[in-house]
Amino acid sequence: MTTAISHPATVPTRGSIADFVRQLRRSWIGMVGLCMLLVMIILAVFAPWIAPYDPYQPVRARIDTIYAPPSAEHLLGTDDGGKDVLSQFIYGARVSLIVGFVASLITVTVGGLVGMLAGYYGGRIGTILMRITDIFLVIPDLPLYVVLVALLGPSIWNIILAISLISWTTTARLIFAQVISVKERLFVLRARAIGASDGHIIRRHVFPQVLPILLAQNALVISVVILSEAGLAFLGLGDPTLVSWGAMLNFAFGRGAISIGAWWALLPPGLGIVWLVLAWTLLGYALEEIVNPRLRTHHLMPQRQPHSTRA
């Protein structure tokens, strides 16, 4: 029975993903984003070999090592505790990347599942799921993160949990809209007509259709997550046992870097966040263009004109 489903009319999973990658390689914006991202990933993965010092090593600050300006010994100077800024910067990439990856993975999985189930089954389940989504959609993120992390305690896992808990809603809405249209397409109706089960249809027909959208959405979610984590850390809610860019800025800002004029303690972590978020944004922008330029107006992304009326 199920063999009939591999009819050419069904969209082959591998083909669409390969196509996706090929198109990505043609987009210069996407490639710039990808390269920027790879630089940061290499930095984070090989941090112990690249960083000149270990930022977790206790240091004994002397008066001349506090906010020491850049020198041959410390290429980006030192911070308020006499620690090497460059090493902290390199290790800081790890926190942003890990929080970004894990939280966005949870976000996209939960959002994708809710959106697919609500869209595919519709009816009462769909309505209830989407109502819950709508309610969580309007609650402002950062205040809720602040409350959750302040109450749970600022560990990296609580930060990830807090962020994942409400950021899945945008993805759920997006996938819901997509599944609604996919499930009425001919190949799905045909599969159902020959007796394919719901689980089979979702796995083999609906999921491959929404996967590219999930990937594009994932890149954009990561950029938001990284900004949220940095904001939390800046407010003093970062994991105290880890070096992160937001926490570096929090310490530098709170401990007189500005009045001393220690720009080297402020600029690297700030620019690091800009670099990484920009990388994901460019990548997400390119992916979204590929997935479907007319699918939606993501509230950040410019859309192509459907058909030109101007000469």
Q: Which residues of this protein are in contact with another protein, per CB under 8 A?
A: 131, 134-135, 138-144, 146-148, 150-153, 223, 227-228, 230-231, 234-237, 246, 249, 253, 258, 266, 269-270, 273-274, 277-278, 281-282, 285, 297, 299-310
Min separation Cβ 208 and another protein, Å: 28
Min separation Cβ 271 and another protein, Å: 8
When the beta carbons of 11 and 295 are compared against another protein, the nearer one is 295
Min separation Cβ 266 and another protein, Å: 6
Min separation Cβ 291 and another protein, Å: 16
Cβ contacts of 254 within 8 Å, gap of 6 or more: none
When the beta carbons of 87 and 281 are compared against another protein, the nearer one is 281
When the beta carbons of 32 and 113 are compared against another protein, the nearer one is 32
When the beta carbons of 110 and 150 are compared against another protein, the nearer one is 150
When the beta carbons of 105 and 180 are compared against another protein, the nearer one is 180
Min separation Cβ 275 and another protein, Å: 8
Side-chain half-sphere CA neighbours of 54 within 13 A: 5
When the beta carbons of 12 and 302 are compared against another protein, the nearer one is 302
Min separation Cβ 284 and another protein, Å: 10
